[in-house]
Amino acid sequence: MSPDARRIEELSLNSSAPPGQLLYDGWLLRLAPGKAKRARSVNAIYPSRLPLDQKIAYCERLFDAAQLPTLFRITPFVQPVELDDELARRGYVRYEPTAVESAPIGNGSVSEVARPMELAPWVEAVGALRGSPAVQRRAHRARLEGTPLPLHPMAIEEGGQVVATGLAIVEDDCAGLFDIVTHEAARRRGHARSLVASLLAAARGMGACHAYLQVESGNEPARRLYREFGFEERYVYWYRGRDTEGIR
């Protein structure tokens, strides 16, 4: 049976768990200084007892002390349900709407150009493709090295240089696909398609029969590609942040 949307949200959170996080009255506070906003945001996932004003103020102080912008990740499962409206009233801007999609893993063909790669050089390759600073690369590596879940990093090379990357993280019978990145000069050559096919095959080999991923809602080329593999939208989330903190 395909996992329901709430279970997919749990899987996503588990796959992006950073070394430093706190539970505060039902909210999961993540403070990793990396690229992934899921790892440096407030996730209001469980029912609360404290007043909302008190909780928001606490999060702002905590993120300020960590020298990170205060970000709230808003999903259909947030608690309390009025959180999004309250943040908007306080001037928190809604941005980066992201679709969470899932698909059954079929028995498709495997690309011969995508290959497994050791985690440490793979993280550096992802950082190079994204132009990420060293602090974000270290945070990315620490987060992945700290997970108890099986990882399968893959890459495509041209002329001895990595031009595309992808990652599968498996939990139970589900696989999350992450960090599917292609160098700008190497796009429209089928690399992303090859990586997705290879990642799904690798995940199937590790016992997964369902897959999920996150993609920006407006990224229609990527979403068309994922539809070829049977991915369909399950829900949408977005972030709330303050423009003055350089969140974009």
User: Which has the closest alpha carbon to 238: 49, 95, 135, 107?
Assistant: 95
Predicted pLDDT of residue 248 = 55
Predicted pLDDT of residue 246 = 60
CATH number assigned to the domain covering 103-234? 3.40.630.30
Query: What is the per-residue pLDDT across 6-21, written as a single tens digit (0 to 9) for each?
Result: 899 988 888 887 777 8
User: Which has the closest alpha carbon to 123: 159, 86, 151?
Assistant: 151
Query: What is the per-residue pLDDT across 194-213, written as a single tens digit (0 to 9) for each?
Result: 999 999 999 999 999 999 99
User: Which has the closest alpha carbon to 164: 119, 132, 130, 133?
Assistant: 130
Residue 88 contacts residue 242 (beta carbons within 8 Å): no
Predicted pLDDT of residue 116 = 94
Q: pTM of whole model > 0.85?
A: yes
CA 144 to CA 123: how far, in whole Å? 9
Backbone angles phi, psi at 154, to 5 degrees: -135, 160
Residues with Cβ within 8 Å of 53's Cβ and at least 6 positions away in sequence, in order, are: none
Averages of pLDDT over runs of 10 residues in the chain (248 residues) are 86 82 91 83 92 96 93 95 96 95 84 87 95 90 91 93 95 95 86 94 94 95 95 96 71
Domain boundaries, the chain: 5-97+237-245, 103-234
CA 128 to CA 198: how far, in whole Å? 22
